[in-house]
């Protein structure tokens, strides 16, 4: 497996609509190697998700989750490979939370997302899958699938005053582990 170079904000591939994958291409050794390399890259970069355009491949493919997660643990996100995702449902009810992105290193933004989603697609073996998700998993799916449509999280933000560098996020915005969430220093 190889660690792939991450495309960063400003690279045109991040603004293109990615091409769907055919069953033959998905089954190919090259595409299976891309999936393995994407997982290795995501883990190496300490990300929770990665879309193919982020590694300079304009195809409709995302990987997300933790390869070492316990599938029985309801709080974990097991490794998921999803090709050709199609939205079946996105709730009108939304929530805002902080997001980061490997293609926008060192930044965080306050992003609204649907609380519940259902997405269809195919897994790495070509089998049809449907994922019903809420909360964090729903957010991760929306973030990664946005990449396939040339959308980055700042495009979803409603208040750009809450786009911040990571150091400032940690200093002023990150919730205090002691429960003092006012952002002030003690």
> What tens digit of pLDDT does each residue of 20-42 get?
999 999 999 999 999 999 999 99
Give the residue ranges of DSSP H helices in 22-159: 23-27, 29-44, 135-148, 153-156
Output helix, strand, coil percentages for the chain, rounded to the nearest 5: 30, 30, 40
With contact defined as beta carbons under 8 Å apart, do 163 and 154 qualify? yes
**The predicted structure's pLDDT at residue 130:** 96
CA-based diameter of the chain, in Å? 58
Q: pTM (2 decimals)?
A: 0.91
Structure tokens that stand for 137 in this block:
């998993």
With contact defined as beta carbons under 8 Å apart, do 54 and 103 qualify? yes
45, 96, 144, 185: the catalytic one is: 144
* Strand ranges in the chain using DSSP code E only, listed in sequence order: 49-51, 61-64, 80-90, 94-99, 107-114, 116-122, 128-134, 163-165
- The three-state secondary structure class of 45 is coil
% of the chain with per-residue pLDDT over 90: 85
pLDDT confidence band for 179 (50 / 70 / 90): low
Residue 60 CA, distance from chain mean position: 13
**The predicted structure's pLDDT at residue 70:** 80
Task: Work out the average pLDDT over 155-183.
Answer: 82
Q: Is 90 exposed, middle or buried (0-12, 13-18, 19+ CB in 10 A)?
A: middle
144 counts as catalytic: yes
Q: Which domains does the chain have, with CATH numbers?
A: 12-173 (3.90.45.10)
As beta bridge partners, residue 134 has 116
């Amino acid at each position: 497996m190889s660690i792939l170079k991450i495309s960063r904000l400003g690279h045109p591939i991040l603004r293109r609509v990615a091409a769907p994958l055919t069953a033959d291409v998905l089954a190919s050794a090259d595409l299976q190697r891309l999936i393995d390399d994407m997982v290795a890259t995501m883990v190496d970069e300490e990300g929770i998700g990665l879309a193919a355009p982020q590694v300079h491949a304009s195809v409709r493919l995302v990987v997300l989750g933790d390869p070492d997660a316990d599938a029985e643990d309801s709080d974990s996100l097991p490794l998921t490979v999803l090709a050709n995702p199609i939205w079946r449902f996105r709730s009108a009810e939304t929530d805002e939370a902080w997001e980061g992105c490997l293609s926008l290193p060192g930044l965080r933004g306050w992003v609204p997302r649907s609380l519940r989603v259902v997405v269809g697609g195919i897994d790495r073996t070509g089998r049809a899958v449907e994922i019903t998700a809420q909360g964090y998993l729903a957010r991760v799916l929306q973030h990664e699938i946005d990449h396939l449509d040339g959308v980055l999280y700042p495009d979803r933000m409603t208040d750009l005053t809450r786009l911040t560098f990571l150091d400032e996020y940690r200093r002023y915005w990150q919730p205090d582990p002691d429960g003092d969430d006012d952002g002030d220093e003690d």
